[in-house]
A and B are shown apart, each in its own frame.
Chain A
Amino acid sequence: EPEVTQTPSHQVTQMGQEVILRCVPISNHLYFYWYRQILGQKVEFLVSFYNNEISEKSEIFDDQFSVERPDGSNFTLKIRSTKLEDSAMYFCASSGDRGGNQPQHFGDGTRLSIL
């Protein structure tokens, strides 16, 4: 069964450094998402992306964050200058439509630890 893949599985970074989290969505999907889950808390929406532009973003997704689809398969989340509070599990998801007729499928996540 096709799946969303994320790399790396764990990233440890010094505060203030830039990180790039990578995702390969399911191949025929067109809608891509990033979520995060701080330890012990709910999964929170960050951003959705379609047709090479952001469709919607949450209040969490401030100027420190950016997303990109650099080629036909990868979807990346960049955090420019990491803070301690960015430590979380980051999940990428993809879906075949935007209307909610198809579910979002999630990757295994990248655990980001900021020191």
Chain B
Amino acid sequence: EDKVVQSPLSLVVHEGDTVTLNCSYEVTNFRSLLWYKQEKKAPTFLFMLTSSGIEKKSGRLSSILDKKELFSILNITATQTGDSAVYLCAVGVYRAQKLVFGQGTRLTINP
């Protein structure tokens, strides 16, 4: 059975801190790994990773994939209160038309 596990499940930090969110996976026929940010409603797309070792970056957010060790990390530097959200990791499986999601990490940034 395809499985995606995120850690930690919950994280509370102070504004300005740097955080690292983890995602490990066990799937057959890996195609891609995606990170989404979920505030009140829709998961909004952050990154899609398909190759190992290539860092994707967008502002203060960055992510990298390790296909040998089957995990990805999402880093957020200089956190702001607006970064408070649930961060979802999802794996796209080759041929299958679906994403397999992890449980999410609830990130709370205190001022």
Give Cα A37–Cα B92 distance, bound, in whole angstroms. 18
Please state if B34 and A56 are interface contacts (CB–CB under 8 Å): no
Out of B45, B97, B99, B104, which one reaches A98, CB within 8 Å?
B97
Give Cα A55–Cα B34 distance, bound, in whole angstroms. 21
Interface residue total, chain B, C-beta cutoff 8 A: 24
Is B67 located at the chain interface by the 8 A CB criterion?
no
The chain B residue with its CB closest to the CB of A4 is B42
The chain A residue with its CB closest to the CB of B46 is A103
Set of chain A residues within 8 Å of B36, measured between Cβ atoms: 106
Please state if A100 and B42 are interface contacts (CB–CB under 8 Å): no
Is A72 located at the chain interface by the 8 A CB criterion?
no
Give Cα A44–Cα B98 distance, bound, in whole angstroms. 9
Out of A42, A48, A55, A105, which one reaches B102, CB within 8 Å?
A42
Set of chain B residues within 8 Å of A35, measured between Cβ atoms: 99
Please state if B101 and A100 are interface contacts (CB–CB under 8 Å): no
Out of A56, A91, A107, which one reaches B96, CB within 8 Å?
A56
Give Cα A55–Cα B101 distance, bound, in whole angstroms. 19
With A42-B103, A100-B31 given, is the CB distance from A106 to B42 under 8 Å?
yes
With A42-B104, A43-B88 given, is the CB distance from A56 to B97 under 8 Å?
yes
CB distance from B10 to the nearest CB of A (A): 13
Give Cα A100–Cα B90 distance, bound, in whole angstroms. 12
Q: A4-B42, A55-B97, A104-B45 are in contact. List 7 more A-B contacts (CB 8 A).
A: A31-B97, A45-B99, A56-B98, A99-B31, A100-B31, A104-B99, A108-B41
